[in-house]
Structure 1
Amino acid sequence: MKRNKLGKSDIYISQLTLGCMSLGTDLKKATYIIDYALDQGINHLDTADLYDFGKNEEIVGEAIKEKRDQIVLTSKVGNHFNQQTKTWFWDPSKQHIHQSVKNSLQRLQTDYLDFYMLHGGTIEDPIDETIEAFEQLKQEGLIRAYGISSIRPNVIREYIKRSSIDGVMMQYSLLDRRPEEELLDLLYKNEISVLARGSLVKGILTSDGLNQIEAKAKGGYLDYSHDELNTLLKKLATIAPANVSELALRYVLTNPAVTSAVFGASSLTQIKETISGKLEHKLSDDVFEQLKLLTKANSYQTHR
């Protein structure tokens, strides 16, 4: 599988990233999924301390402890949680970040993270303090690079101006084209990688899409009504009758700003379908423009 450079760092990640949030708490099952991903050329795993209140990091750490050197490992921080009460609050302070990375490293059974992201963020945050915390972790060798997971244009712009981030994780898909309007070109120009999450839209852009619409999007999705989703999916199937997920992933990977598309899997069946496409082939200009005509050029309204 093709690997792309993460920002200005010396880290190269596969064009698909396995998002670990959906792995569940069955270690054997999670290990099967992770091993299959590695066998297929995926080298980048993404987790977060908040997922299952630390349990996800423990599962990932146990699954990869004998193969850590094969993996680019990412985790996220910023949600100050209590494992007993299952509650949390937003905390981007230096103190919390420094303590949390130690906790994450212990759960993941490793002495460093390749990539560490702020798990959200608002314009009211103490941004310079947050950046200082990440820079110190980098100097100490606890992380190799850092970034943010955010869809807020105003927050992203501040980090572009003030920090040396190497990547931004954001929601980007055929049904959520908001980043195209004001973020993708800006990040590309500043050599900051985009990690596109949600590109399969909760399973809607897969072979099981019609069922997923009924299960997860009866009220619609972003600018799309329930009926529009059904109609669009049927049209997409005429373009890619064998694999709608391949079409969806190739669309986001076509943009040069996108370094990797992040997807989740809770079963081997799901991961096999996602990886089965010929993602190394770029979409033709005709198909790319056809997809843009079929979908909506959304824009950010409330999330600024």
Structure 2
Amino acid sequence: MEKRRLGKSDLYVTELGLGCMTLGTDALAAERIINASLEEGVNYFDTADLYDFGVNESVVGRALKPVREKIIIATKVGNRWNSNKAGWSWDPSKTYIKEAVKDSLTRLGTDYIDLYQLHGGTLDDPIDETIEAFEELVSEGIVRYYGISSIRPNVIREYASKSNISSVMMQYSILDRRPEEEALSVLRENGISVVARGPLAKGLLSDVGVNKIMEKGFMDYSEEELGSLLLKLKNHFGDRSLTEVALRYVLHNPTTASVVAGASTVEQVKNNAKAVRSQALTEEEVSFIKKVSKANMYGEHR
């Protein structure tokens, strides 16, 4: 599987990454999916301390321990579970980040994190303090590189100008082209990569997407608009699967380092890997997709 450089770092991530949030807490089932990903050549695995109260990190770390030096583990910080586990609060403080990383290292069973990401953020955060925390973790050798997970263009601009982030994880797909309008140019100018989550738009852009139309549509697409678009894509690309078209569309942009897709079965892993290995889209094909889909804009999330 092809690899791409993550920002200006020396991390080279596979074009397909495994989003681990949906793995669940069944360690054996999760291990099967992770092993299938490894067999397909995937080297990038993304988790977070928020998922399953941290259990996800433990499951991922245990499964990847035999190949730790060969793979890239990314996790996230900032969402702090309440004592009763009924919800969480946002805490981007230096004190919390430097404490939380210790717990993540323990759960992951490793002494370093390849990519440590702020799991959200707003302009009201103590951004300079947050950056200082990540920079110190890098200097201490606990974290190799850091990034943010955000869809807020104003927040992204702040970190792009003030920090040494290597990447921004953001939702990006044919059905959510918001990054193209406000984020990708800023990141490209600053040598920062996109790690794209949701490239299959909750499965709507998968091979069975046409049959899975959500009654409420998706984002600013009505059910009717969504159905029309999916059928246009299916008809235009003929034998190519929607999964291929969807993943190759996001990878067409050179700012994208990896598309991170979740999987609940081994078959999904194999299908996603096959799609990523498929032929790149032509400029004409990308133009067609842009013509028939919406150039969404960020609204409330700024």
TM-score normalized by structure 1? 0.96
Query: What is the CA deviation profile of residues 45-76 of structure 1, one whole-angstrom value per residue up to 9, with x for unaligned ones?
Result: 00000011101111101111111112100000
Q: Is the 8 A contact 1:249 1:279 kept in 2?
A: no
Q: CA RMSD in A?
A: 1.2
What letter matches 1:143 in structure 2?
V
The equivalent of 2:118 in structure 1 is 118
Does residue 209 in structure 1 map to residue 212 in structure 2? no
1:82 CA displacement: 3.7
1:280 CA displacement: 5.8
Distance 1:219 1:174, change over 3 A: same
- 1:75-224 counterparts in 2 under 5 A? 75-82=75-82, 84-213=84-213, 217-224=214-221
CA distance in 2, matches of 1:242, 1:251: 13
The equivalent of 1:226 in structure 2 is 223
Q: Is the 8 A contact 2:92 2:125 kept in 1?
A: yes
1:281 CA displacement: 3.1
Query: What is the CA deviation profile of residues 13-57 of structure 1, one whole-angstrom value per residue up to 9, with x for unaligned ones?
Result: 101110000111111111111111111111000000001110111
Task: Please list every run of 5 or more consecutive structure 2 residues that lacks an aligned counterpart in the other structure.
Answer: none
The equivalent of 2:232 in structure 1 is 235
Distance 1:113 1:278, change over 3 A: closer
The equivalent of 1:287 in structure 2 is 285
Query: What is the CA deviation profile of residues 225-266 of structure 1, one whole-angstrom value per residue up to 9, with x for unaligned ones?
Result: 011111111111121444101100000100111111110001
Distance 1:48 1:240, change over 3 A: farther
Q: Is the 8 A contact 1:53 1:86 kept in 2?
A: no
Percent identity reads 54
Q: Secondary structure at the match of 1:291?
A: helix
Q: Is the 8 A contact 1:53 1:82 kept in 2?
A: no
Q: Is the 8 A contact 2:160 2:186 kept in 1?
A: no
Query: What is the CA deviation profile of residues 273-296 of structure 1, one whole-angstrom value per residue up to 9, with x for unaligned ones?
Result: 211125363211111111111101
CA distance in 1, matches of 2:172, 2:166: 18
Q: Is the 8 A contact 1:114 1:144 kept in 2?
A: yes
Task: Please list every run of 5 or more consecutive structure 1 residues that lacks an aligned counterpart in the other structure.
Answer: none
CA distance in 1, matches of 2:238, 2:92: 43
The equivalent of 2:67 in structure 1 is 67
What letter matches 1:226 in structure 2?
E
Query: What is the CA deviation profile of residues 125-176 of structure 1, one whole-angstrom value per residue up to 9, with x for unaligned ones?
Result: 0000000000000000010000100000000000011101110001110001
